Chain A
């Protein structure tokens, strides 16, 4: 199993670099994985997105629709892409410790 190493910490990940076990998530995961997704500084806005994704996933077991994410955080779609250059599915979900979304993504 591949691992992702950052700041002396080591995370088991899948081959696409998503956290293998979503239960292992903590705030350090988001900060450590941010560097791979083109996010240099985790701001309050990033956390708002990450926490929403995280809570939604824990409740429903899947990633939310982008519509829900924008509605709940109040961020326009464009802004989500500004916050997470690699997009909501790959970037934001990865930082929130969700498994890689299924399908053509």
Chain B
């Protein structure tokens, strides 16, 4: 008959809300969105601290201090808004998205206010709340003069902010709005990020969120993306706009009193999932994630739920950043009589961008010092003919090389204990300690740290 039941339903909810009748779970969240600006009552300082924390985690994960989560950067091409649960309970998805933005070379930012793209106005039928919440996000983008609003994977938030919000807020929106699913797909298509699908080999199926697929028509982009980031994609049936509900739609996840009914009606969903034989059900909606998690547990399915951002992040091929090479632009002289050690050190230093010259003994080392003028020298103490100690003494007395950083790389554990001898030697000759001392067998991290320190 062409009757839009959902619209009727929402209208009735809105009327009830205006006379003060609504489920407690929805009321609590709506109140937080009205009063605190986000649906989980997250305070601004906690939000900012969490972003800073994720930035630290990313920098240590990728060994790259240039990875940032920029807050309130003006004139960004992308302003990224999220679901508060990401910041309150599980910020891994924030870090994953940040890594993708970073490696795509995006000029992006997160706003310090107006960062919650969810909107309980959709659920409680209150257009005023819907308008107020959407307006906050729009104003954040405008305040920062952002070019585009990108929203993390939340079905109802996407629909509310992108499709319904301008009507509720009774205003035009002068910038583009995009789901992060589309953003990630664009990055891959444009070659801005590289992905390796062999990192995700477990069978994956895709659950269309009602708000993304049925309401907003986003059905092909997630599939195209999945085809690029995993090797074994299996469609579930029915799918797209005809897909079965996660059972958490319409705000039901915020209302515990409906949990038993949700789980009972989830039987058909569980069977649909089971029939795919997939190990991972991917979806693009935080609400679906939780509802699916509940029903998977209830019906004892052997499945995990993941958002697209997690699969894309795990498939991400991270380029070795040029400036991240620790020793870029440095010339290092390696003096060691053992060819294996020279090859080993050469490989390590070259990987870090250094130019490497080698010498098998002290005399050739001295010649290389004079002709090549390296920035740093590694020195083995136990050398044929002239010892490393002797060479060290010579160069420290030679004003041309007195300040040359030297890292001693030697097998101190030898029976004749050359470490003790070497220190005695330094004391007797009134020589300074070398800039670093590394014991064989060589620990790469210690070596690089010592070399880096010596070069400073």
Contact = CB atoms under 8 A, between A and B. Distances in A.
A105 B49 CA distance: 21
A86 B297 CA distance: 10
A101 interface: yes
Nearest to B294: A16
B258 interface: yes
B455 interface: no
Contacts of A62: 41
A65 B50 contact: yes
A66 B254 contact: no
A34 B257 CA distance: 22
Contacts of B118: 104
Contacts of B254: 102-104
A15 B257 contact: yes
Nearest to A105: B85
A105 B91 contact: no
Contacts of A77: 57, 91-92
Contacts of B25: 102
Nearest to A14: B256
Interface string B255-267: 0111110000000
Interface string A1-24: 010000000000011101000000
Contacts of B46: 65, 67-68
A100 interface: yes
Nearest to B95: A77
A104 B87 contact: no
Contacts of B154: 104
Contacts of A2: 260
A104 B49 contact: no
A15 B89 contact: no
A88 B89 contact: yes
Given A104-B154, A105-B253, A66 B259 contact: no
Interface string B22-41: 00010011001000000111
A89 interface: yes
Contact of B53 (A14, A67, A102): A67
Given A67-B46, A104-B39, A86 B88 contact: no
17 contacts: A14-B256, A62-B41, A65-B50, A66-B89, A67-B50, A70-B53, A77-B57, A77-B91, A90-B293, A102-B254, A103-B28, A103-B32, A103-B84, A103-B85, A104-B286, A104-B287, A105-B85
Interface of A: 2, 14-16, 18, 62, 65-68, 70, 77, 86-90, 100-105
